[in-house]
Amino acid sequence: MTDPLRNLPAGIGRVLFTEAALRQRVNELGAQISRDYIGLDPLVVGVLKGVMFFMSDLLRAITVPVSVDFMAISRYQSGSGAKGPVRLTKDLEDPVEGRHVLFIEDVIDTGLTLSYLLRNLRVRDPLSLEVCALFDKPQQRIAQIPLRYRGFELPDRFVVGYGLDYREAYRHLPYVAEL
Ligand code: IMP
Ligand code: MG
């Protein structure tokens, strides 16, 4: 359903990042990563599903050779609606021992999801482990995350689009908007 007055989908608020703004920042991140990883043949790991558009645009902005893999997680939702523990539902295909791993996330909020994944990967002895997140929402941070590359800082608001969902809706929007 479309809101006929604004030509935006129902439930969508203010557009915070247009396609052009996202493209420009993602290209900058890709250039930065390309400079930092010359000769390192990094393994770029995306966390599904929210990362899909960011990851595909970022990879196309990276000019050094990379390998690509994905992890997927699901979170048990507690009765109160609070975020529950994380469970790995898809693991990497190959070992990361001796590899330079670059983790790609859509949003870091409390940091609990990513700290679980980072702990899980650290014990597999990668040569290095860095994090690139499109959005950083520092206000609710519980677990400290070593964030090497950050697209944008966000206030404590829920946003959707460009891969980010609300209950699986709105992922397909090419821009990022408030809910
Ligand atoms: P954290 O574990 O609290 O850091 O939550 C991170 C995960 O929550 C992200 O990977 C997203 O899947 C989801 N998330 C956090 N904030 C938002 C948002 O504003 N929009 C959509 N998903 C979000
Ligand atoms: Mg996510």
| Tens-digit pLDDT profile for residues 86-109 | 889 999 999 999 999 999 999 999
Percentage of residues in the chain having pLDDT higher than 90:
85
Radius of gyration of the chain (CA): 17
**Interatomic CA distance for residues 162 and 153, integer angstroms:** 16
Residue 78 has pLDDT above 60, yes or no: no
pLDDT-derived band at 123 (thresholds 50, 70, 90) equals: very high
Measured in Å, residue 19 CA sits from the centre of ligand 1 at 20
- Which residues participate in catalysis according to the annotation? 109
pLDDT of residue 159: 97
| Sequence-separated (6 or more) residues with CB below 8 Å from residue 130 | 100, 101, 102, 103, 146, 148, 149
Task: For ligand 1, say whether the CB of 177 is within 6 Å of any of its atoms.
Answer: no
Which pTM does this prediction carry? 0.93
Question: 110 CB less than 6 Å from ligand 1?
Answer: yes
Q: State the DSSP H helix or E strand holding residue 90, giving kind and residue range, or none if neither.
A: strand 83-90
